[in-house]
Amino acid sequence: MFIALSVSVSIIRSLRDVVSTLRTRDPDLADQLRRAASSVALNIAEGAKRAGRDQLHFYRIASGSVAEVRAALMVADAWGHLDGVALSSTLELLDRQAALLYRLLHRRS
């Protein structure tokens, strides 16, 4: 499996409990987080089957969704919804995903 896709699936797995916890405190934010994380995986998968600018477009969307996942976690934490929830492994995966997407977007032909 494409490494970037594999990492995105790992991110989703790491967010299961976070989304479940968040759903009881802020259902809208939980849904936004779930959709953004899914968007990363789905756009990477679609981009892998495209070429040229079309491919880059999907990777850019995936990269934006990585930023959205990170922002949703920051917002949830700022509201106190995630007190006591360990996010370090998820944040590391998001960093790795951002780096992989950066490389895909900036690779030399």
pLDDT 10s digits, 36-89: 999 999 999 999 999 989 999 999 999 999 999 999 999 999 999 998 888 999
Q: Domain containing 11: what range?
A: 3-105
**What is the model's pLDDT at position 100?**
97
Which of the four pLDDT bands, split at 50, 70 and 90, describes residue 1?
A: low
Please provide the average confidence, as pLDDT, over all residues in the chain: 95
- How far apart are the C-alpha atoms of 82 and 86, rounded to whole Å? 8
**What is the model's pLDDT at position 20?**
96
Please state the pTM of the whole predicted model: 0.94
**What is the model's pLDDT at position 65?**
98
Cβ neighbours for 30, distance < 8 A, ≥ 6 positions apart: 19, 22, 23
pLDDT at 109 over 60: no
**What is the model's pLDDT at position 78?**
95
What total of structural domains would you count in the chain? 1
CB burial of 86-109 (b: ≥16 within 10 Å; e: otherwise) equals ebeebbebbebbbebbeebeeeee
